[in-house]
């Protein structure tokens, strides 16, 4: 009887695991409207002031625009696409744009920027595409809010397309070409903010870092299903309870 129970549990657990592996989440679509934004209030965890930093996201641009913002904390750091190229600015202390690397339209790409106190590097789908050594100081912290798909300056440079899985870190995540992440990010001690953007409804997206930097959807950014090429974990509680309940019946 115990052998049958074990086999049954393994079978059910295996099916549950497959469900997790195949599950896909949601993302947020922007249509280039300067009134649309996702914004979190300033907080100590977002006031990164050292010499180690990474910002990254999955993006699916549908139009090149001039500058279209991916993430921004005005006068501290930001990442964007400029006429289809990956661009970035980090105020440490030179607040100006650098960049290179063509980000294809209508296709998912992982984009990242790292700063280690001497070099700022742009990464596209795991490959180094640009770097500059113009900065060498601590990052300038500000009391500005954190934004996704929008900038509180000029015409706001709104994003065209879909953004998913945004992470801001107070460490250098990548130092050489790397395998593109194929799973959702897990928070750790160096995660300042992490947005899976999986809610699929409502006007709040949760910060999964533990730092409570929840963000508001303002204007009309849309929830859409995401087919970004990484697996999305689902909450296992109910399925595990069902599986264990089935086992206990034997």
Please tell me the distance from the alpha carbon of residue 4 to that of residue 15, in angstroms, as a whole number. Answer: 17
pLDDT tier, 65 (very low <50, low <70, confident <90, very high otherwise): confident
Residue-wise pLDDT tens digits, 130-154: 999 999 999 999 999 999 999 999 9
**Residue 8: inside a domain, yes or no?**
no
**Residue 6: inside a domain, yes or no?**
no
**Residue 18: inside a domain, yes or no?**
no
Please tell me the distance from the alpha carbon of residue 194 to that of residue 216, in angstroms, as a whole number. Answer: 14
What proportions of the chain, in percent to the nearest 5, are helix, strand and coil?
15, 35, 50
**Residue 59: inside a domain, yes or no?**
yes
Beta bridge partners, 223, equal 28
State how far Cα 240 lies from the chain centre.
Answer: 28
**Residue 13: inside a domain, yes or no?**
no
CATH code, domain carrying 188: 2.60.120.200
SS3 state at 9:
helix
**Residue 110: inside a domain, yes or no?**
yes
Domain hosting residue 49, numbered range:
27-234
What is the predicted pLDDT for the residue at 106? 98
Q: How many residues are listed for the chain in this entry?
A: 250
Q: Which residues contact 221 (CB under 8 A, 6 or more apart)?
A: 28, 29, 30, 36, 37, 38, 149
**Residue 190: inside a domain, yes or no?**
yes
Percent of the chain with pLDDT over 90: 82
- DSSP E strands in the chain: the ranges are 26-31, 37-40, 53-61, 67-73, 77-82, 85-90, 98-102, 109-115, 120-124, 127-132, 146-148, 160-169, 191-195, 204-205, 215-218, 222-225
What is the predicted pLDDT for the residue at 166? 98
pTM for the model:
0.85
**Residue 242: inside a domain, yes or no?**
no
Residue-wise pLDDT tens digits, 206-236: 999 999 999 999 999 999 999 999 998 654 4
Number of domains in the chain: 1
Q: Kindly tell me if the per-residue pLDDT of 183 is higher than 60.
A: yes
């Amino acid at each position: 009887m115990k052998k049958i129970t074990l086999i049954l549990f393994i079978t059910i657990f295996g099916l549950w695991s497959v469900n997790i592996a195949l599950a896909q989440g949601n993302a947020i679509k922007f249509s280039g409207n300067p009134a649309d934004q996702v914004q979190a209030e300033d907080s100590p965890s977002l006031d990164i002031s050292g010499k180690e930093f990474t910002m990254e996201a999955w993006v699916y641009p549908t139009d090149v625009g001039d500058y279209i913002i991916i993430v921004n904390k005005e006068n501290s750091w930001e990442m964007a696409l400029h006429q289809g190229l990956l661009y970035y600015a980090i105020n440490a202390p030179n607040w100006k744009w650098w960049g290179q690397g063509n980000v294809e339209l209508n296709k998912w790409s992982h984009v990242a920027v790292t700063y280690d106190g001497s070099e700022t590097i742009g990464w596209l789908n795991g490959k180094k595409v640009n770097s500059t050594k113009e900065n060498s100081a601590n990052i300038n912290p500000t009391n500005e809010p954190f934004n996704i798909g929008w900038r509180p300056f000029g015409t706001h440079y709104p994003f065209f397309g879909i953004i998913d899985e945004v992470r801001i870190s107070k460490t250098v995540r990548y130092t050489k070409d790397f395998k593109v992440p194929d799973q959702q990010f897990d928070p750790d001690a160096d995660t300042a903010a992490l947005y899976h953007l999986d809610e699929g409804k409502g006007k709040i997206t949760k910060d999964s870092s533990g730092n409570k930097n929840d963000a508001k959807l303002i204007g009309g950014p849309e929830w859409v299903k995401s087919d970004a090429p990484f697996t999305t974990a689902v909450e296992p509680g109910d399925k595990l309870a069902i599986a264990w309940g089935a086992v206990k019946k034997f």
